[in-house]
Amino acid sequence: MTALSTLIGDVDEFFSRHLGKAALHRPGAASNLKNLISVEDIDRVLTGSALRTPGVRIAKDGTVIPADRYVAKSTLGYADLGDVVDPVKAVRFFRGGATIVLGTVNLLLPHLHALCKDIETDLGHPVDANVYVAPPHARAFEVHCDAQDIIIVQIHGSKRWELFDAIVPNPGGGKVVSDLDASSSTYELREGDVLYVPRGMPHLVRTADASSIHLTLSINTLTWADLLRGLVLEILRSDDFAGALPLGHDVAGQAAPMMRKYADLLSAALADRADADAVDRIVYGRTAFGDGLKTGLFRQALLDTPIDLADRIALRPGTWPVTTDDGRVTVGDTGFRLPREAVETCRRLRKGPMKVAEISPAPDEALKIASALVTLGLCTTGS
């Protein structure tokens, strides 16, 4: 059972009945995920990590508190910093009824980072985690909808979620929704409960008589606009679109009749480029897919354990290599030039782990390729 199925149940049913369509409440579903995140983890992050804005936001009654009210001057070695969160000021706001939001806290807690990468592998979309620490009787934000699908896990205390039966088709991040004419459903989340909220579904979140901590797993959904924008930008770099617009007193008037020609040219080029490799390059070439789970990378280098033909080799969780026939592998913003056999190995590993000996019938070549992929931080090996 994967982390995703533990949280949301049957994955196929979730995709067909809930994803992007309807909320899903699963009481106690997260109880089986051990060491998810603890109060001690949050305390350590907030008070001992020298957090910098915008990694922390503080909000109360629909108003985001300006960051200059809870940061302090600090130093990093000889460098002066002016955006380090002062935990004393942050906690003072919390005591005064404000909610503390820790953004992408998965980057600070390895076990939470591993959870996000596990879910990301199942969904094929980037996933990160935010933590909301709310005092009693708190309402951080107005009724709003998110640009991401979110999976809520209640960590401590309880929280009341009011979800409205409407979907905003093109939501912006944290978009406030007013004049909402829709019925609503209320869910009282207790420790271990899970709630899925589709992107674009308006909601209002409040605490009652006790403090609350909940974890939000944000599925940073890639849209058709993201895909088409990437493909179009590639096309527009070609010589066909490099010519200057007409010259003269009425540039717009001269260019307007020519738009049909270039629109048709763009449409034809887009249809020609709509193959699996191009789509793969745009979808998985995003920066968010370059942040694979690097846990153990330094230990591996320090111990320098020899790779054996019987070892299994696998892509690091959250690593989505984009390969080309000219010997290039790109992961996020980082590119590598590799031998053809190593590029082909990356392609095969996208389908799942395999034994090192299966990389090549020549043992020396198999070990050489495995060693290169491990050294580059793309893969892990083990028995």
Residues 102 and 159 placed together within one structural domain of the fold: yes
Residues 50 and 116 placed together within one structural domain of the fold: yes
Return all residues near 90 (Cβ < 8 A) that are at least 6 apart. 46, 56, 58, 70, 100
In a domain, residue 282? The reply is no
For the CA atoms of 149, 151, 152, 155, what is the dihedral angle to 10 degrees?
-150
In a domain, residue 285? The reply is no
In a domain, residue 235? The reply is yes
Q: Which of 210, 244, 274 marks a domain boundary?
A: 274
In a domain, residue 93? The reply is yes
Cβ atoms of 19 and 36 closer than 8 Å: no
Residues 205 and 230 placed together within one structural domain of the fold: no
3-class DSSP assignment, residue 170? coil
Q: At 170, which amino acid appears?
A: N
Q: Show pLDDT as tens, one digit a residue, over the chain (383 residues).
A: 899 999 999 999 999 999 999 999 999 999 988 879 999 999 999 998 888 998 999 999 999 999 999 999 888 777 888 899 999 999 999 999 999 999 999 999 989 999 999 999 889 899 999 999 999 999 999 999 999 999 999 999 999 999 999 898 888 766 788 777 789 999 999 999 999 999 999 999 999 999 999 999 999 988 888 899 999 998 999 999 999 999 998 999 999 999 999 999 999 999 888 787 888 888 888 777 777 888 888 988 898 889 999 999 999 988 989 888 888 898 887 888 999 999 999 999 999 999 999 999 999 999 999 999 999 999 999 87
Cα(276)–Cα(351) distance, integer angstroms? 15
Q: What is the pLDDT of residue 173?
A: 67
In a domain, residue 243? The reply is yes
Print the domain residue range for 235.
224-274
Residues 197 and 336 placed together within one structural domain of the fold: no
Residues 119 and 136 placed together within one structural domain of the fold: yes
How distant, in Å, are the alpha carbons of 116, 139, 280 from that of 100?
A: 21, 11, 38
Cα(357)–Cα(354) distance, integer angstroms? 8
Residues 250 and 371 placed together within one structural domain of the fold: no
Q: How far is CA 29 from the centre of its chain?
A: 22
Number of compact structural domains in the chain? 3
- My answer on whether omega of the bond before 54 falls inside 30° of 0, hence cis, is yes
Residues 7 and 126 placed together within one structural domain of the fold: yes
In a domain, residue 281? The reply is no
**Which pTM was predicted?**
0.88
Residues 50 and 145 placed together within one structural domain of the fold: yes
Residues 17 and 65 placed together within one structural domain of the fold: yes
Place of tokens 């909601």: 203
The two structure tokens encoding residue 86: 């002062």
Residues 348 and 362 placed together within one structural domain of the fold: yes
Question: Which strands sit side by side in the sheet containing 63-64, from one edge to the other?
Answer: 24-26, 194-197, 149-157, 212-219, 127-134, 99-102, 56-60, 63-64
Phi, psi values for residue 105, rounded to 5°: -70, -15
Residues 193 and 240 placed together within one structural domain of the fold: no
Cα(267)–Cα(251) distance, integer angstroms? 23
Q: What is the pLDDT of residue 153?
A: 98
Residues 55 and 83 placed together within one structural domain of the fold: yes
Specify the CATH number for the domain of residue 201.
2.60.120.650
